[in-house]
Amino acid sequence: GQSLEQPSEVTAVEGAIVQINCTYQTSGFYGLSWYQQHDGGAPTFLSYNGLDGLEETGRFSSFLSRSDSYGYLLLQELQMKDSASYFCAVDSNYQLIWGAGTKLIIKP
Amino acid sequence: DAGVIQSPRHEVTEMGQEVTLRCKPISGHDYLFWYRQTMMRGLELLIYFNNNVPIDDSGMPEDRFSAKMPNASFSTLKIQPSEPRDSAVYFCASRFASGGAVTGELFFGEGSRLTVL
C-alpha cells in the first residue's frame, strides 16, 4: 500500500525552531511537497523537493532523502501565525498522496 | 490571475436532497482534483481529471457521487441523494503537470462546506 507517516501534533514556543518529519512508502515518486492549512482555510503550497537535499524559502526549509524515504519541514523563528496544520505529500504519477497532517501548536 | 473558484462556499441541505458543487480551475491547468476533508478521515482524493478526462475515480465513496468535467474551465461534483455522513469540506484543486513539469504544487479553491441534516 501507499502511506505517509507524520506526527499528529507538535508543540513549540514562539521564536523557536521546530522540525516536522515525514516518512513515506509509495509506488512512484517524483518528489515530496509540504502544505500549510490554517483552520477553516484551504491547503497552501509551501515547498517541494524533487532531489535530495535542503530547499530554503525564508523561514521555512524542507529536506529530502530519497534513499531513506524521509523528509522534514523546518520552521525557524516561529510566529503565532504559523499555528496551523502541515501536510507532507508525495507526488506520485501526477497525483499527490497525502499524510494525515501535523497540527503545530505554538505557545507564547 | 484568479485562483481556483468554487461554489457554493457553504451549503446546508436535508438528507435525500441533491447537491451540486462547482469548480473553475486555473486557466491552462490540465489536472483537476476533487478532495473531501473531515476531521475523522483527513484529506481524501475523490477523483481527478487530466485534460477533462477522468483518470482515477477509485476514491469516490459510492454511486451516489458523480463528477463531470465538460470542458477545461468547469467541473461539477454531484451527490444524489445526500446523507448526513457526506457532511465535509469539499476542495477542488488544479495544477499544470504535462511534459514532466512536476513541481508538487496544487492550487486549491477555498472549499465548499457541506452540511447534510
- Over residues B71-113, the pLDDT tens digits come to 999 999 999 999 999 999 999 999 987 665 567 789 999 999 9
Q: What is the rounded distance in angstroms from the CA atom of residue B2 to the CA atom of residue B87? A: 27
What is d(CA A84, CA A86) in angstroms, rounded to the nearest whole number?
6
Residue B48 Cα distances to A23, B31, B32, B90, angstroms: 25, 7, 6, 13
Asked if B33 has any chain A CB less than 8 Å from its own CB, the reply is yes
**Is pLDDT at B43 greater than 80 in this prediction?**
yes
**What does DSSP say about strands A53-57 and A60-65: parallel, antiparallel, or unpaired?**
antiparallel
CB contact B102 to A (< 8 Å): yes
Chain A residue numbers with beta carbons less than 8 Å from the beta carbon of B42 are 98, 100-101
Determine the Cα–Cα distance for residues A47 and A40; give it in Å rounded to an integer: 21
Check pLDDT > 80 for residue B1: no
pLDDT band at A49 (very low <50, low <70, confident <90, very high): very high
Tens-digit pLDDT profile for residues A68-79: 999 999 999 999
Size of interface A-B (CB pairs under 8 A): 54
A100 vs B42, B106, B110: nearest CB: B42
Q: Across chain A, what does the average pLDDT equal? A: 94
CA distances from A29 to A20, A69, A71 (A): 20, 10, 13
The reply to whether B99 touches chain A by the CB within 8 Å rule is no
- pLDDT exceeds cutoff 80 at A93: no
pLDDT at B2: 83
Amino acid at A55: E
Section B57-66 average pLDDT: 92
Please give the average per-residue pLDDT across B13-33, as a whole number: 96
Cβ of B31 and A94 within 8 Å? yes
User: Which residues of chain A neighbour B103 with C-beta distances below 8 Å?
Assistant: 31, 48, 50
Write down the pLDDT at residue A7.
97
